[in-house]
Amino acid sequence: MEADYLGIKGKKALVTGSSRGVGKAIALALAEAGADVAVNYRSSAEEALDVVEEIREMGRDSLAIQADLAYPDQALNLMEKTTERFGELDLLVNNAAYFPTNWVKDISLKEWQKTLDVNLTAVFLCSKFLVNHALENEKKAKILNINSQAAFHGSTTGHAHYAASKGGMWTFTISLAREVADQGINVNGLALGIVETEMVKPLLKKDEEYYLDRIPKNEFAQPEEIADIAVFLLSEKADYITGATLDATGGMLMR
């Protein structure tokens, strides 16, 4: 019989924004640990279906769900479709994010609002749904919010709205964790530095040395190594961790 060291086997998971990048790596790592995983995307349907295929090849259930998390009704629909398919939901990873670049003097209200809608309001809506689902079913659950060093440092290169949304994610994580800690629901964060994905490729192309210099380890992270840390935080091994935001930044963020 296969060992279930992490206590993830048979768990039902949803990873938002998991058609590529960090979300894809977390979805695959969760499946490898034995979870069934719902894959969410906004526009990259083909990539999402490839992730679903990979998960099914591991013998786990998976489906791709299109939902643009800038829209509250689509966020709720995503949660409903996931629970309809799986019957239950144990693990939620709030990973999808909007990362526009602009100095404050040029940020439009629309851009500011969309950043908060995707990076904070959708996190609230999906988390609230999972909490109520877990409470109604008297089940344990875990939420992991993918955060950024920017939540603690603030932005250096034109991402004040993104940094503000991630700062909000941090205090939301703590607040919700405290609220539901004695009900078997863990809420944690994982703050990243620079991970080589599509999101930051344009920045790295422009000034790779500047970003490398900010990382004491002097290297960028790969999505797969971030996924391993995420899986630990979602596992039964991390049952006593709640309200924490773990920094996986190669030393870029030390606090």
Which residues of the shown chain bind ligand NDP in the complex (CB under 6 A)? 17-23, 40-44, 67-70, 95-98, 118, 146, 148, 192, 194-195, 197-200
| Shortest Cβ 58–ligand NDP spacing (Å) | 19
Q: d(Cα 198, Cα 164) in Å, to the nearest integer?
A: 21
Residues 36, 86 contacting (CB under 8 angstroms) = yes
Residue 229 gets which letter from DSSP? H
Question: Which stretch of DSSP H or E encloses residue 178?
Answer: helix 160-180
Neighbouring residues of 158: CB distance < 8 A, sequence distance ≥ 6: 101, 102, 103
Give least dist CB 100 to ligand NDP, A: 11
Q: How far is CA 174 from CA 116, 186, 232, in A?
A: 18, 10, 19
- Token pair for residue 121? 């309001």
Catalytic residues: 162
Sheet holding 36-41, edge to edge: 62-66, 36-41, 12-15, 91-94, 141-148, 185-192, 245-248
Instruction: Give whichever of 95 and 235 is closer to ligand NDP, judged by the CB atom.
Output: 95
> Which C-beta is closer to ligand NDP: that of 1 or that of 109?
109
**Smallest separation, CB 104 to ligand NDP (Å):** 19
Closer residue to ligand NDP in complex, CB, 23/34? 23
**Which C-beta is closer to ligand NDP: that of 49 or that of 135?**
49
Instruction: Please identify which residue in the block is written with the tokens 């963020």.
Output: 253
